[in-house]
Amino acid sequence: MSNILHVGLNCIEPILDMPTNRSIPNKRWHLAFTAIYSSRALYSLLNQKKKKKSRKLPVPSNPSFVVLNVKPEAFSSIDHTTLTAIVNEKSFNKLLEFGGIEGVADALGTGIKNGIDGSVNNVALRQEAFGSNTYQRPPAKRLFHFVVEAFKDLTILILLFCAALSLGFGIKENGAKEGWYDGGSIFVAVLLVISVSAVSNFRQNRQFEKLSKVSNNIKVDVVRNGHRQQISIFEVVVGDVVCLKIGDQVPADGLFLDGHSLQVDESSMTGESDHVEINSHHNPFLFSGTKVADGYAQMLVTSVGMNTTWGEMMSTISRDTNEQTPLQARLNKLTSSIGKAGLAVAFLVLVVLLVRYFTGNTEDENGNQEFNGSNTKADDIVNSVVRIIAAAVTIVVVAIPEGLPLAVTLTLAYSMKRMMADQAMVRKLSACETMGSATTICTDKTGTLTLNQMKVTKFWLGQDPIEDSSLISTDLLNLIQQGVALNTTGSVYRATSGSNYEFSGSPTEKAILSWAVLELDMEMEILIKDFTILHVEAFNSEKKRSGVSIRSEADHNTVHMHWKGAAEMILAMCSSYYDASGRMKDIDDGERMTFEQIIQGMAASSLRCIAFAHKQISEKEHEIRETSQKLEEDSLTLIGLVGIKDPCRPGVRRAVEDCQYAGVNVKMITGDNVFTARAIATECGILRPHQDTNNEAVVEGEVFRNYTPEERMEKVDKIRVMARSSPFDKLLMVQCLKQKGHVVAVTGDGTNDAPALKEADIGLSMGIQGTEVAKECSDIIILDDNFDSVATVLKWGRCVYDNIQKFIQFQLTVNVAALVINFVAAISVGEVPLTAVQLLWVNLIMDTLGALALATEQPTKELMERPPVGRTEPLITNIMWRNLLVQALYQIAVLLTLQFKGESIFGVNEKVKDTLIFNTFVFCQVFNEFNARKLEKKNVFKGIHKNKLFLGITGITIILQVVMVEFLKKFADTERLNLGQWGACLGIAAISWPLGWVVKCISVSKKPFLSYLRWQEHHFLLYVCTKI
């Protein structure tokens, strides 16, 4: 697509302005652009002048503009089709046609070391020429889609059919003016229920779309203007130099520029699980969407967005928001069971009403017998049968608690939104509710319990602490600087000689680089120029060390190997050490013990101990060992030890204590040594001062790994801290805990944590330090890497479960009361006191408005005062059975009294009596909604002022009920009530409050209520069998 650039004549100078510190390729490209731009501008102006003269047009008052097609000149030697083909086809021939990777970089105006010019104009130019790094998503589902889905419900279709019949016969019998009320009322009520349901699902879908955009917005390290910086993946452009490390997602298609030991997992593209090695000689091609499995590198971006295979594939995929959580599955079973009972009752009501009608036991409004054999018109018979069927179907509508799945959806959607504000992004819905049942949290140390703000506070050379770097010998100082500058994945940037340094990389790398530059006066750029890196062994969480072999440009006969990593591991590889004066000394058993004590002393002060070691070999010896692609790991010389301080997060101790008080065990799993781990765990409150290795509270990963399966199962509950652990040890612990019946939540940030995150019931990845691989394997992303947010997620998980239980109690109370009242009335008097429209209104306020009111209750401290909910605990507890049965029985007693004695008690006619029953029933639900807020606590009004939505919905329900009774008489089939009658309705309903208070004084057994029924059934069968 051509790139049209409109440039005003008065804007030419700033556009052609070129920085002096630009790289050679960038200078060339900008000089070419300037020359082409100027010649095109002059040519266009002359042409324009000639045309104006020939046409004799008046000169416009506004300044003239020049339309330039810049794209062919700016990137005249290459286009996106060719770039796409080079990588997609893995074509070395096409790559060589452009002069290899350097030629492609030159054609794209990219400096291999300094990257592209990061100015807004240049980035916009590249986006116009090659596209942006975004892909077209399938269109989001519209509101109409959810309306159609709601219409597919069988019960709704039956009701609409009945409404249509009722409408038709009503108009035929009473005319259009009066006959539409019954059928039209049902139509309006059904459409209202459908609308509310569709809007709720539509809003939830929109929320998922927003969360999807946030989760896809990955941060990427790029080099622009010689400066390493983080940008959004959507801002990556063709020509960018991207820095990759273990666990990163490759953000676009591109070519390998520089790096070491790079291996990529291409299973997302090819389906092959084997890692692919990437290098400049045999396979420099990198594909968007793949994951870095090992090593680190820099890549040149050649294709972005829809020009990549990944972009094409992702544009056809939409995120499925129909994921069914375990709780939703359980509720669907409950809904099905209740629905079957409702169908049975509705069928009985249908049979009874039909029998009573056709046997002549029913009367019309005037007291005449409705069915009189052959004298009754066919239209009247059909109309009456339709009315009876509608009543039976409406009972089914009320009986089936369709609000239960909706309540779960609303609760999860609301909690997801609030958890996002509390620094937790939910990737899988099921994690919200599962977190409420968590019994154990296995957490990392670095960045989760600590601030991840590392600083070198101790430095030892030999067996002496060093406070002043001027005391270090020159040769030894050079070795330290080499080991820091060349054995790192971090970088140092300084814009000008007077400006501050900027350090990039992992927190540990940044701490060491900062110390070496600021304390030891290390010049990183000079060291990189003076040495050639021959081989790199990248750091990972299993080896806990990294190594590099280098050759000096001044001495080609000697190869230096530098190692850096966990202090005790590096020490074990050393046979000698340098003292402060630079002399080499052998390490005997006594010396080794002294070094171990130094390491333990720093670790006991909560310092992370890092050691540096060195070995010098000849070029010939290096060539012999080069075939094995392994650096020497023995007979090294210890250079020095550094202690890095990473302070605990403020408030982490309180968060840990909150979890422990809530019955959740917190275990710390870290790669640090046992002394550092114990010190941090004690500081955070995970470990009490009297707990140590003697009672097996602290264990090393290797020891845990070497236990027999029986020993592991026996000791896993006692373990509070696991030090020097590998990702496999973490996975092993998760498996053991799950086998013992625990619900396990695990935090992780590294690529190697992926198996443990997948295995856990709830995987929690870190948003800042977490790799993309870890995030993809997790259920929830902790955006601020803070353990306090983990505790907040636990609280929200319990809140979700609690809110759903509240709604179940509220809903089942209505179901039981409505079913019994209609059934008894139908059997006894042959009619139902609550009409189809009235029952649909009750269905609406309890299913949708009730779900919305109770689903939005916020977490309270009380939630963290109870033990976790087990995997096998019933959804409806004995406490809930107690509450709902008492309230339902009260409502049944009151409403049946009104049904049979209401006319005489209030001195009213049948129409007013039915209105009193309807009004009292609705207000009983409104008052009972308050009772449902607290399942166990007697004070149901505590914290109600914080839930504005609950109060608002309650107010709206009351207002709409007044409108239904007083103003929509024909629609709702009601009569107006006087103040005394309104007071009676409210008074009867209000008794549910003191009744709820009294009921909560009754203690109940912890044994599930339904288990008694099963026990009785079992014993009855045994009794029958013995008798037979």
| Residues known to be catalytic | 444
Asked whether 943 and 860 are in contact (CB, 8 A), the reply is yes
- Residue 23, Ramachandran bin (φ over 0: left; ψ between -120 and 50: alpha; else beta): beta
Q: Which residues contact 810 (CB under 8 A, 6 or more apart)?
A: 846, 850, 854, 925, 928, 929, 932
- Strand-pairing partners, residue 315, are none
User: In 763-783, which positions are buried (b, 16+ CB within 10 angstroms) versus exposed (e)?
Assistant: bbbbbebbbbbbbbbbbbbbb
Asked whether 769 and 447 are in contact (CB, 8 A), the reply is yes
Is residue 560 helix, strand or coil?
strand
Nearest to 818 by CA among 895, 933, 884: 895
Nearest to 163 by CA among 949, 903, 804, 835: 835
The one-letter amino acid code at 177 reads K
3-state secondary structure 761-799: CEEEEECCCCCHHHHHHCCEEECCCCHHHHHHHHHHHHH
CA 238 – CA 87 distance, rounded (Å): 13
CA 902 – CA 708 distance, rounded (Å): 75
CA 606 – CA 446 distance, rounded (Å): 12
- Residue 72, Ramachandran bin (φ over 0: left; ψ between -120 and 50: alpha; else beta): alpha
CA 430 – CA 412 distance, rounded (Å): 9
- Strand-pairing partners, residue 648, are 450
- Strand-pairing partners, residue 363, are 369
Is residue 875 helix, strand or coil?
coil
Place of tokens 């650096």: 631
* Residues across the chain: 1028
Task: Give the pairing of strands 440-443 and 665-669.
Answer: parallel
Return the half-sphere exposure (C-beta side, CA atoms, 13 A cut-off) of residue 826.
Answer: 26
Is residue 8 helix, strand or coil?
strand
Asked whether 803 and 327 are in contact (CB, 8 A), the reply is no
CA 532 – CA 535 distance, rounded (Å): 9
**Cα of 9 vs its chain's centroid, Å:** 51
The Cα angle at residue 380 between residues 375 and 383, in degrees rounded to 5: 155
Asked whether 785 and 452 are in contact (CB, 8 A), the reply is yes
**Alpha carbon separation from 684 to 107, 447, 680 (Å, rounded):** 55, 13, 6
Instruction: Read off the tokens for 253.
Output: 């298609």
Greatest Cα pair distance in the chain: 123
